[in-house]
Amino acid sequence: MTTDSAPYAEFVVDLDAVAHNVHTLRAHAGDAATMVVVKADGYNHGAVAVARAALAAGARELGVTTIGEALGLRAAGIDAPILSWLNTSAADYAAAIRADVEIGVSSVGHLAAVAAAARTVGSPATVTIKVDTGLNRNGVSPTEYPQLLNALADLTRDRLVRLRGMFSHLALADEPQHPVVDRQRTRFVEAVAQAKASGLEPELIHLANSAATLTRPDLHFDMVRPGIAVYGLSPVPELGTFGLVPAMTLTAHVALV
């Protein structure tokens, strides 16, 4: 029996399915660590609940877009490493530094803003370089990359910034054998080599999204970074489900048959 106050539609999130999917992805990742992406409120599944379930299932780190998303996780008591990678140069980097949130930098301007915040806070910022290898969404462009490396080398010597990692995003990983995927891998490896030649030593590098985690072990590097697969959707449907279980169910009352 329903009443007028009962919801006409609701969605239910199965956190056991999230845990199952994380176990599945970790099995594909081999020796690589797993960062679970919980951006956009965990793809509307509830970022805090998904993050807790994923970490309990063996994920090591979390990924979000904005600093605000990262601070929400910290406010909920989550102390795992969090990377925030898509912010404007006017973002509240001081708050990120205080909350021990790792910051993705995609330009010299972003790096300068992070360094200024570190000076204000009086603590070094932890950063990861995002290089653009072909997606063209965000990331350091090849033309600006040498300048960013020089600036970062100076800031690390001054102990204003700690370089933790380097990463990039794939554009066509849902077509695992597309030549663009290999081209991006080559560009990424070259960018890492260029950073090391500049005296910078990233602690970890990562490139693989959901599709690459499941289909391209040569792209796993130190860590994989699945998003949509965590929630049970196959990133390459023509290759099957990979054993993933959808985590969300939408139900509604019938109004008319």
The one-letter code for the residue type at 112 is: A
Torsion of CA 182, 36, 113, 115, to 10 degrees: -100
DSSP per-residue string spanning 110-168? HHHHHHHHHHHHTSPEEEEEEB-SS--SSSB-TTTHHHHHHHHHHHHHTTSEEEEEEE-
Average pLDDT estimate for 209-232: 98
pTM above 0.85, yes or no: yes
CA distance 42 to 20: 16
Average pLDDT estimate for 110-139: 97
pLDDT grade for 3, boundaries at 50, 70 and 90: low
**Mean of per-residue pLDDT scores for the chain:** 96
CA angle 127, 129, 135 (to 5 degrees): 140
Residue 197 carries which DSSP code? H
Distances (CA, A) of 218 to 172, 177, 191, 196, 232: 15, 12, 17, 21, 23
